[in-house]
A and B are shown apart, each in its own frame.
Chain A
Amino acid sequence: MAWNLDCDRPIYLQLVERIQKQIVSGQYRPGSRLPSVRELAAIASVNPNTMQKAFTELERGGLIITQRTNGRIVTEDQNMIDNVRREMACKHTDEFFRRMEEIGYTRQESIERILKFSEREERGE
């Protein structure tokens, strides 16, 4: 199944985010081997050079490591994975507040909204 990509942002960035997500969510475990560039490009149905660029970007950040004999593996540095996870959470939170602002909610009102929502969920309503 080809990956769904937004049309207004660079493709390689979206590939980076997608693979980051797969790593922080544990779909690719720390220390596990990643598919090759070609395999993953075929799965995503994207250009292999673009996938290579995404891998290079992830390597630069340290989240994946190239081993000469073993291909590419996910870092075993749990701190690093946690950091990336936190960064992604921050982005989602920003995005949430931005969207709420668009429909006229202040930060405080947005927070109250979330609290009310989770209280209701807990009561099973």
Chain B
Amino acid sequence: MNELVEITNVSKSYDGRNNVLTDVSLKLPKGKIVGLLGPNGSGKTTLIKMMNGLLQPSGGSIHIAGCPVGVESKARVAYLPDRTYLSGNRTVSEIIEFFCDFYQDFSREKAAAMLSSLDIPYSQRLKSMSKGTKEKMQLVLVMSRNADLYILDEPIAGVDPAARDYILRTILSNYNPESTVLISTHLIGDIEKVLDEVVFLRRGQIVLYTSVDNVREQHGKSVDDYFREVFAC
């Protein structure tokens, strides 16, 4: 069992007529940082939601570490959604307690170390945080788990370049070689050098799955530039 994620012939339609995803098959190994790249509306978030059991595929199957998506797989996947589900009234320490109760693999020590390096006090309420701090706070929660798979939906979209660097460093320094990180984004340039592999999604289909250095070797340009070429409007 080398594959951590096995997506087999997955299709998804919200209205029964138009497919958001069509016959997507993808295997992700352990120990990689993978970029899920595609323009708006290409199906990135839909695929991620199905990997987390928030949506059901219309056809096909998804297995994570050998289990179909469900209670067992959720215990092994740390998921950063594209929007928050946390109540703004909660303080940092309440949220940390909540996560400790909820996830067996949550590490208080990791969270404490990251929060102190970010100067986020435990007494602060979520609603009093800036947008960027909120995003960092949520990344801290996700990266404090010792999961097999981290799925980050647009982790760097709303933050300034310095905060982006911090987020990327956090991902790099907390990632362990046994786990895989899947990052969806359209801000490729900022994230390219931390990725092993990239998946290009276009109109609900995978058009490319290769390594970053392969793209650079074959095309003599960055993944960012190649993306702009492939998806030129």
Q: Identify the A interface with B (CB < 8 A).
A: 2, 5, 7-13, 38, 41-42, 45-50, 53
A42 touches B195 (CB 8 A): no
**Can you spell out 5 A-B residue pairs with CB atoms less than 8 angstroms apart?**
A7-B192, A8-B220, A11-B213, A41-B172, A45-B169
Cα of A46 to Cα of B177 in the assembled complex, Å: 14
A7 touches B172 (CB 8 A): no
Give the residues in chain B near A49, CB-CB below 8 Å. Answer: 31-33, 196
B213 touches A48 (CB 8 A): no
Cα of A48 to Cα of B189 in the assembled complex, Å: 18
- Sorting the interface of chain B by its residue count into under 10, 10 to 19, 20 to 34 or 35 or more gives 20 to 34
- Contact flags (1/0) for B152-180 with A, using CB distance below 8 Å? 00000000000001001100110101000
Task: Count contacts between A and B, CB distance < 8 Å.
Answer: 56
Question: How far apart are B169's CB and chain A's nearest CB, in angstroms?
Answer: 6
Give the residues in chain B near A42, CB-CB below 8 Å. Answer: 169, 172-173
- Contact flags (1/0) for B189-202 with A, using CB distance below 8 Å? 10011111000000
> Interface segment, B94-102, B106-114, B221-229?
B221-229
A45 touches B222 (CB 8 A): no
Is there a chain A Cβ closer than 8 Å to B15's Cβ?
no
